[in-house]
Amino acid sequence: MSAPEPKTMTHREIMEALSGLLLVLFVALSSSTIVSTALPTIIGQLNGSQTQYTWVVTATLLTATASTPLWGKLADLYSKKLLVQVAIVVYVLGSIIAGLTQNTEQLIAARAFQGLGMGGVQALVQVAIAAMIPPRERGRYNGYLGGVMGLATVAGPLMGGLIVDTSWLGWRWCFFIGIPIAILALIVLQKTLHLPVLRRENVKIDYLGASLIAAGVSVILVWVSFVDSSFGWLSWQTFAMVGAGVVLLALAAFVESRAAEPVVPLPIVRQRTTALAILGSLAVGMAMFGGSVFLGQYFQIGRGYSPTEAGLLTIPMMFGLAAASTVAGRLITRTGNIKPFVVAGTITLVAGFAGLSVLDHDTPLWYVGIAMLLVGAGVGMSMQNLVLAVQNTVSLKDIGAASSTIAFFRSLGGTIGVSVLGAVLARRVADSMTTQLAGMGVQSSGGDSGISALNLGSLPPAIQHVVRVAYGDATGHIFLISMFIAVVGVIAAVAMKPSKLRSTVDLAPAPAAEPELVAAK
């Protein structure tokens, strides 16, 4: 049975509904950016390691990534409004738990739980907007999304820095501060968001497929974090973990190909536009997450700036993201063409990473600022528009699965990026510190001294200098890796098929599609 074409909403109705959705998005994004600047202080005070530093971020991204397709699929079957509200509640509970943790292990677990809510929010906001606004007009409203992303990414690092630098607050408020905003978003959404609920009979959720995807990705990421430090590349641990990850993902693909309601619909993924957007999203995901995570650490550990100063120093990247997203969104609405902006964005991203690839512990700040501006502009022009390109090719009934699939791979790119780059950074920092200490006639403790290298205040001045040089010089190398990966995004963008954005919420009626829908049931 075909669903009626949704009633066209007025600009005022769209803006009222959008207000609550933007509040939700601000909460989810700012929770990551606040923590990114504060994390060196948090891990230092909890006496954590570089690997644990990486996993506080990776755990959140991993659960957000694994749950994104499931949230999107549920949005195609049940109330989008209710699901957004459920995701907010999960996020709030996770924030409370994270703020009460006593060690890094508890913090990693709490952030993993919080990631479930964040994944739902980030996927479902896109789905709700797609259900309200035709693709041709969506570029105009994507400008508002870009503005909120810019505000969250500019205000977040500053707030995180101020919180940990304010003695009577402390780092725990980095998690508590978003709770009242999330509750306000719940109230606003209840009053303003009104979307039709298209109920279907005999609905089946592919929990097995979602579990296999999550398990396969998790095993691979755990291997990335510990290979070459805890065990060798050619070891039984490597063969066991990589083999298990590949088998689990192969089983997931098998299950998805036969599931009645797959969480990642393979027919959509096999479409040219979607497949290329997935490749581009992997590169953009690495940029978006890797940049914010490791630049904050670079400024604080490698350059010796306070958390507040580190937040201020990341403003060029956030300004580039907000400005490019807003301008590109309006131009896309005016022209109806999306490919030129995605191509320009990915090329700009490569240029920004190329600039950051030469960072060391005394690179001029004006140079770092220009490179960050380019990275931000590249992300702003490409991130939202890759989702929009896919949404333009699918019908309304599949908008949740399609949107969440792109969000899934973008988040997966970020998760893999943070994990891989964090492992590379940890290895290079350890090697650099060992070399420097040997030159000073000091034997490295190998991390067994009981004091974290990130807890600089507990280290002698000479050792502090060694740590700063190690982190400052190692950061450029991870952005060199990012540059080569971002080239894949350029290739994918260039290969995308040019198309005009449609002016209706749903695709034009296609009678041939009806038997397929009935068969799927």
pLDDT tier, 279 (very low <50, low <70, confident <90, very high otherwise): confident
What pLDDT was estimated at residue 355?
A: 92
Exposed / middle / buried, residue 507 (Cβ in 10 Å: 0-12, 13-18, 19+)? middle
Using the predicted structure, report yes or no on whether residue 410 has a pLDDT greater than 60. yes
Between CA 133 and CA 4 the distance in angstroms is 16
**Average of per-residue pLDDT values in the chain:** 78
Using the predicted structure, report yes or no on whether residue 247 has a pLDDT greater than 90. yes
Residue 411: name the closest of 76, 20, 140, 29 by CA: 29
Q: Which residue has the higher pLDDT, 287 or 333?
A: 333
Considering only the C-alpha atoms of the chain, give the largest distance between any 2 of them, rounded to a whole number of Å.
Answer: 78
Mean pLDDT, to the nearest integer, of 44-68? 78
What pLDDT was estimated at residue 449?
A: 47
What pLDDT was estimated at residue 63?
A: 82
Using the predicted structure, report yes or no on whether residue 75 has a pLDDT greater than 60. yes
pLDDT tier, 514 (very low <50, low <70, confident <90, very high otherwise): very low
Mean pLDDT, to the nearest integer, of 388-416? 72
Beta strands in 173-273 (DSSP E): none
State pLDDT tens for residues 182-199.
Answer: 888 888 888 877 776 655
Residue 256 CA to its chain's centroid (Å): 24
Residue 341: name the closest of 369, 379, 376 by CA: 379
DSSP assignment of 101-156 equals: --SHHHHHHHHHHHHHHHHHHHHHHHHHHHHHS-HHHHHHHHHHHHHHHHHHHHHH
Using the predicted structure, report yes or no on whether residue 267 has a pLDDT greater than 50. yes
Cβ-contact 169, 307 below 8 angstroms: no
Between CA 14 and CA 31 the distance in angstroms is 26
Residue 177: name the closest of 19, 25, 35 by CA: 35
pLDDT tier, 519 (very low <50, low <70, confident <90, very high otherwise): very low
Backbone torsions φ then ψ of 186, nearest 5 degrees? -60, -45
Cβ-contact 372, 314 below 8 angstroms: yes
Both tokens of 147, joined, read 């503005």
Residues 6+ apart with CB under 8 A from 72: 123, 124, 127, 263, 400, 401, 402, 403, 404, 405, 407, 408
Mean pLDDT, to the nearest integer, of 409-420? 75
